[in-house]
Chain A
């Protein structure tokens, strides 16, 4: 396995496009698996990540064992290898690797050098959007190149229900619609699809359980409507209880408008979403770690954009019903259930 990984790294180093394609069957065999089951995928992703690689591999994709899987260098590894932003596809301004990667359990990955922080922050700004719903403004992070945005539920809430449709502005100022397909309270997260197909600049998800006290963090948001503001801080408590939820407590400067924005580790991975703060307390900012809702992200991605837009979504409790078409929500009983793409205003 180790020799195989070395050969992948060597072949990536030789190529300018920084991608190699390997057959899924070969990849599984090299790691000692005959079949693709979730633990095999998680193990392979972890081992690749340890070497600074990522693979376009999930339990649902690719469909057949003989299909090819794209293996790429992670942004942090690329930044170490060559100076410059991690947007590898030349001229596109896009992050290169279209895949959803469940975070690995590997805790010994050395953080990249400190001069890499600006590179990571620049990439994070490119993948952070501004969300407008009702009178409020919040932030969100694109976590998949097809345009899946992760934000906070209270950002997309208006008049006692979540909105189905919100206004989204990309980092380059382009305006799009976002359609909310899943949300949760009190975990305070929401998932929405951008109304246009990608690819978009995106951020990979990281392992929030591996965070340690005093580890540096970067947050991106739009505090007081100041767009694309980056702030830096440390982990104050990786497992702090707030509002009945185990949160990430940090002293990273956040204010209204940061809500829903990504909190990143120094590998450029989203580890949490900005949620709440104790006013007038520097160390009292709270973000909800992404591992609370990785399954929801995987579910929405497995349905795809059109599948999750067709499925009924409850505006009251945020449930996405994947199995039945009901006029009421099977979780909370509300009749505020919508499905399909909302009409353009």
Chain B
């Protein structure tokens, strides 16, 4: 009597486990690159700034984060720096938004302006799979440089109110 044919040898659970392991390794590698860059930038103990998703630290007078987050099957490297709080006056919000979009249109590379909640951010996003090691640090430096520049120009123009005192 002929033996029954068996199912395919690779089980789906094994594939998922392998993918998860690969992602864990990629994530650890990405965070190690960030830590190396922080050490090279003068942060003696980057672990002090470690959070659940990556690193969060202060540079000059703005908050910066560098994190690795899962987006579906991909791992995304996300760097952000706080530029300024959004003004509450309608006649400042619209010109600010337009200026941010115009700057985004002219931008080259992964760095862009973004609004989240009541804050204007400079962010850089890239897929961890495609990112060369040297670019982890470059993204952080670019975001900090943009945020520093934008803070000066944008705060001067928009960190105010159009109201008058009584």
Contact indicator B117/A332 (Cβ below 8 Å): no
Looking at the assembled complex, report how far the CB atom of A174 sits from the nearest CB atom of chain B, in whole angstroms. 31
B116 lies within 8 A of A187 (CB): no
Report yes or no: A161 in contact with B117, Cβ–Cβ below 8 A.
yes
- CB of A61 closer than 8 Å to a CB of B: no
For chain B, which range describes its interface: under 10, 10 to 19, 20 to 34, or 35 or more residues? 10 to 19
- B87–A336 CB distance below 8 A: no
Contact A317 B118 (CB under 8 A): yes
**B100 CB within 8 Å of chain A:** no
Q: In the complex, which residues of chain A have a beta carbon less than 8 angstroms from the beta carbon of B15?
A: none
Contacts of A161 in B (CB 8 A): 117-118
Q: Is B165 an interface residue (CB 8 A)?
A: yes
* Contact status B86-A294, CB under 8 Å: no
Q: Is the CB of B163 within 8 A of A187?
A: yes
7 smallest CB-CB distances across A and B, nearest first, come from: A160-B117, A244-B160, A331-B90, A291-B166, A184-B88, A317-B88, A161-B117
The answer to the question of A72 belonging to the interface, with a C-beta cut-off of 8 Å to chain B, is no
Contacts of B161 in A (CB 8 A): 184, 186-187, 244-245, 292
A71 to chain B, nearest CB (A): 24
A242 to chain B, nearest CB (A): 11
Judged by a CB distance under 8 angstroms, whether B119 is at the interface is yes
Cβ contact of B118, chosen from A244, A291, A316, cutoff 8 A: A316
Scan residues 147-168 of chain A and give those whose CB is less than 8 A from a CB of chain B. Answer: 157, 159-162
**Residues of chain B contacted by A243 (CB below 8 angstroms):** 159
Q: B86-107: which residues lie under 8 A (CB-CB) from chain A?
A: 86-90, 93, 97
Name the residue in B89, B116, B159, B166 with the highest tally of chain A Cβ atoms < 10 Å from its Cβ: B166
What are 24 inter-chain pairs, A to B, with CB distance below 8 A? A157-B118, A159-B117, A160-B116, A160-B117, A161-B118, A162-B118, A183-B88, A185-B86, A185-B88, A187-B88, A187-B161, A209-B165, A244-B161, A245-B160, A292-B161, A292-B163, A292-B165, A292-B166, A294-B166, A315-B118, A317-B86, A331-B88, A332-B90, A333-B97
Report how many residues on chain A are interfacial, defined by Cβ distance under 8 Å.
Answer: 30
CB distance from A103 to the nearest CB of B (A): 8
- Whole-angstrom distance between the Cβ of B147 and the nearest chain A Cβ: 16
- Give A294's nearest chain B residue, CB to CB: B166
A136 interface residue per 8 A CB criterion: no
Please give me the residue from chain B that is nearest to A102 by CB atom: B166
Q: Which residues of chain B in 109-132 are interfacial with respect to chain A, using CB atoms and an 8 Å cutoff?
A: 116-119
Q: Is A223 at the interface (CB under 8 A from chain B)? A: no
Contact residues in B for A25 (Cβ distance below 8 Å): none
Residue of B nearest to A332 (CB): B93
Kindly count the residue-residue contacts between A and B in the assembled complex, taking CB atoms under 8 Å apart. 70
Q: Does B85 contact A (CB under 8 A)?
A: yes
A245 to B85, CA, bound (A): 14
Mask, A172-200, CB within 8 Å of B = 1, is: 00000000000111110000000000000
| Partner among B86, B97, B166 whose Cβ is within 8 Å of the Cβ of A316 | B86
The residues of A that contact B87 with a CB separation of less than 8 Å are 185-186, 317
Output the residue of A160, A318, A333, A336 with the most chain B CB within 10 A.
A160
A186: chain B residues within 8 A (beta carbon):
85, 87-88, 159-161
Interface string of A262-302 (1 = CB under 8 A from B): 00000000000000000000000000010110100000000
Q: Is the CB of B85 within 8 A of A291?
A: no
Once A157-B118, A162-B118, A316-B118 are accepted as A-B contacts, the answer to whether A246 and B165 lie under 8 Å apart by CB is yes
When each residue 135-165 of chain B gets 1 if its CB lies under 8 Å from chain A and 0 otherwise, what string results?
A: 0000000000000000000010001110101
Which of A185, A294, A319 touches B85 (beta carbons < 8 Å)?
Answer: A185
A6, B161: Cα distance in complex, Å: 43
A160 touches B119 (CB 8 A): yes
Q: Give chain A residues whose Cβ lies under 8 Å from the Cβ of B116.
A: 160
Closest Cβ–Cβ distance, residue B47 to chain A (whole Å)? 22
- Which residue in chain A gives the minimum CB-CB distance to B97? A333
